[in-house]
């Protein structure tokens, strides 16, 4: 078994970092949907159990927010690693684009 890093390794790392970030993006979308549903249930008076559910959802949202920050850092690190190994000086970080972000979408 070779310890050399191959293009396939870099491609897999890049793909994994994108998938990792997408998972947390989808989780955040689902949490937003849950929040809307909870607000609806609360407004229609469906029982006191909603408070316990709301507390659980708030704790989950906090954990998700913290996880998303870690995920973003890991994804940036993986993209930077792939970029460094490829010698890709054209790597563009979305944070550095400013007003030109639409050009890369």
Residue 36 has pLDDT above 80, yes or no: yes
Q: Does residue 102 lie within any of the structural domains?
A: no
Average pLDDT, the chain: 72
Whether the full predicted model's pTM is greater than 0.75, yes or no, is no
Q: Which residues have CB under 8 Å from 83's CB, separation 6+?
A: 91
What is the length of the chain? 105
Q: Into how many domains does the chain fold?
A: 1
What are the CA-CA distances from residue 22 to residues 18, 37, 40, 68, 85 (Å)? 6, 23, 27, 10, 23
Q: Does residue 43 lie within any of the structural domains?
A: yes
Q: Percentage of the chain with pLDDT > 90?
A: 0
The pLDDT confidence band at residue 90, using thresholds 50, 70 and 90, is: low
d(CA 99, CA 78): 25
CATH number for position 13: 1.10.287
Q: What does the pLDDT read at residue 46?
A: 64
d(CA 54, CA 35): 8
Mean pLDDT of 74-80: 78
Which is more confident, 55 or 102?
55
């Amino acid at each position: 078994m070779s310890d050399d890093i191959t293009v396939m390794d870099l491609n897999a790392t890049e793909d994994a970092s994108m998938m990792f970030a997408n998972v947390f993006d989808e989780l955040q979308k689902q949490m937003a949907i849950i929040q809307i549903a909870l607000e609806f249930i609360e407004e229609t008076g469906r029982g006191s159990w909603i408070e316990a559910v709301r507390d659980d959802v708030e704790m989950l949202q906090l954990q998700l927010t913290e996880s998303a920050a870690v995920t973003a850092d890991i994804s940036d690190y993986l993209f930077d690693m792939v970029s460094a190994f490829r010698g890709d000086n054209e790597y563009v970080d979305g944070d550095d684009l400013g007003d030109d972000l639409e050009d890369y979408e």
